[in-house]
Amino acid sequence: MSTPLALLGAYVPQYATLIMFLLTMFNLVPRQLIYNIVDAVRSYWKPKSSKITLHIGEKDGMSRNQMFDAAEALLSTRVNCDSKFFRVTKNVKEDHINIKFAKSELIIDSFEGISVTWKYVIVPPKPKERSDGHDGDGGASPEKKYIELKFEKEHKETIINSYLPWILEKSKEIEDQKKEVKLYNLQWQCSSYNTSQKESVNLHHPSTFDTLAMDPKMKKAIIDDLDLFLKRKDFYSKVGKAWKRGYLLYGPPGTGKSSLIAAMANYLKFDIYDIQLNSIGSDSNLKKLMLSTSNRSMIVIEDIDCSKQSHDRKKITPSKDAIANYKRASDQLSLSGLLNFIDGLWSCCGDERIIIFTTNHKEKLDPALLRPGRMDVHIHMSYLTADGFKTLAANYLNIHDHHWRFEEIEELIKGTDQVTPAEVAEELMKSENQEVVLEGLVKFLKLKKSEQDEKLISQERIESSG
Element (H, E) at 357: strand 353-359
396 falls within a domain: yes
What single-letter amino acid sits at 208? Answer: T
Q: Are residues 34 and 88 in the same domain?
A: no
- What is the percentage of the chain residues whose pLDDT exceeds 90? 28
At residue 455's C-alpha, the angle toward residues 452 and 461, to 5°, is 145
Q: Are residues 209 and 357 in the same domain?
A: yes
| 158 has a pLDDT exceeding 90 | yes
Instruction: Place 12 in a pLDDT band, splitting at 50, 70 and 90.
Output: low
For position 325, what pLDDT does the model report? 44
| Distance of alpha carbon 135 from alpha carbon 152, whole angstroms | 45
143 falls within a domain: yes
Q: Are residues 376 and 395 in the same domain?
A: no
Q: Which of 285, 405, 389 is nearest to 346 (CA)?
A: 285
184 falls within a domain: no
| Distance of alpha carbon 271 from alpha carbon 293, whole angstroms | 9
Instruction: Place 133 in a pLDDT band, splitting at 50, 70 and 90.
Output: low
Q: Mean per-residue pLDDT for 232-261?
A: 91
81 falls within a domain: yes
Phi, psi for residue 443 in degrees, rounded to 5: -60, -40
Query: Across the strands, what pairs with 148?
Result: 55, 119
- What is the percentage of the chain residues whose pLDDT exceeds 70? 73
For position 173, what pLDDT does the model report? 84
For position 47, what pLDDT does the model report? 59
Q: Are residues 27 and 122 in the same domain?
A: no
152 falls within a domain: yes
What is the per-residue pLDDT across 448-463, written as a single tens digit (0 to 9) for each? 888 888 888 888 777 7
Q: Mean per-residue pLDDT for 5-31?
A: 62
| 220 has a pLDDT exceeding 90 | yes
Q: Are residues 373 and 442 in the same domain?
A: no
Q: Are residues 31 and 72 in the same domain?
A: no
Q: Mean per-residue pLDDT for 385-400?
A: 89
Q: Are residues 171 and 200 in the same domain?
A: no
Minimum mean pLDDT among 82-96, 140-154, 163-177, 197-211: which range? 82-96
Instruction: Place 108 in a pLDDT band, splitting at 50, 70 and 90.
Output: confident
What is the per-residue pLDDT across 172-203, written as a single tens digit (0 to 9) for each? 888 877 778 888 887 766 544 455 556 778 88
162 falls within a domain: yes
Minimum mean pLDDT among 197-201, 348-352, 434-438: which range? 197-201
Q: Mean per-residue pLDDT for 344-350?
A: 66
At residue 190's C-alpha, the angle toward residues 189 and 191, to 5°, is 105
In terms of DSSP H, where are the helices of 240-377?
Answer: 257-268, 283-291, 322-330, 335-343, 367-370
Q: What is the 3-state secondary structure (H, E, C) of 131-167?
A: CCCCCCCCCECCCEEEEEEEEEHHHHHHHHHHHHHHH
| Distance of alpha carbon 9 from alpha carbon 49, whole angstroms | 41
Q: Are residues 435 and 449 in the same domain?
A: yes
DSSP state of 404: T
Other beta carbons within 10 angstroms of residue 361's beta carbon come to 14
Q: Mean per-residue pLDDT for 107-135?
A: 79
Of 380, 410, 425, which residue is a domain's last? Answer: 380
Beta-strand ranges (E) seen in 217-323 are 244-250, 271-275, 297-301
Of 364, 380, 396, which residue is a domain's last? Answer: 380
What single-letter amino acid sits at 452? Answer: Q
183 falls within a domain: no
What is the DSSP track for 59-79?
EETTEE-HHHHHHHHHHHTT-
Residue 115, classed as helix, strand or coil, is strand
CATH number of the domain at 306, please. 3.40.50.300
For position 315, what pLDDT does the model report? 45
Of 115, 149, 178, which residue is a domain's last? Answer: 178
Q: Are residues 334 and 399 in the same domain?
A: no
Q: Are residues 286 and 394 in the same domain?
A: no
Q: Are residues 87 and 164 in the same domain?
A: yes
Q: Mean per-residue pLDDT for 101-114?
A: 81
Other beta carbons within 10 angstroms of residue 195's beta carbon come to 12
For position 404, what pLDDT does the model report? 76
| Distance of alpha carbon 121 from alpha carbon 144, whole angstroms | 8
| Distance of alpha carbon 356 from alpha carbon 380, whole angstroms | 13
| Distance of alpha carbon 334 from alpha carbon 309, whole angstroms | 6
For position 462, what pLDDT does the model report? 79
Q: Mean per-residue pLDDT for 262-267?
A: 94
- Identify the domain containing residue 27 by its residue range: 4-45
Highest mean pLDDT (candidates 64-73, 219-228, 340-349): 219-228
CA dihedral 384, 390, 392, 396 (to 10 degrees): 150
What's the chain's length in residues? 466
For position 322, what pLDDT does the model report? 40
Q: Report the Cα 52 to chain-centroid distance in Å.
A: 35
Instruction: Place 348 in a pLDDT band, splitting at 50, 70 and 90.
Output: low
For position 345, what pLDDT does the model report? 66
Instruction: Place 80 in a pLDDT band, splitting at 50, 70 and 90.
Output: low
How many structural domains is the chain composed of? 4
Q: Are residues 318 and 447 in the same domain?
A: no
420 falls within a domain: yes
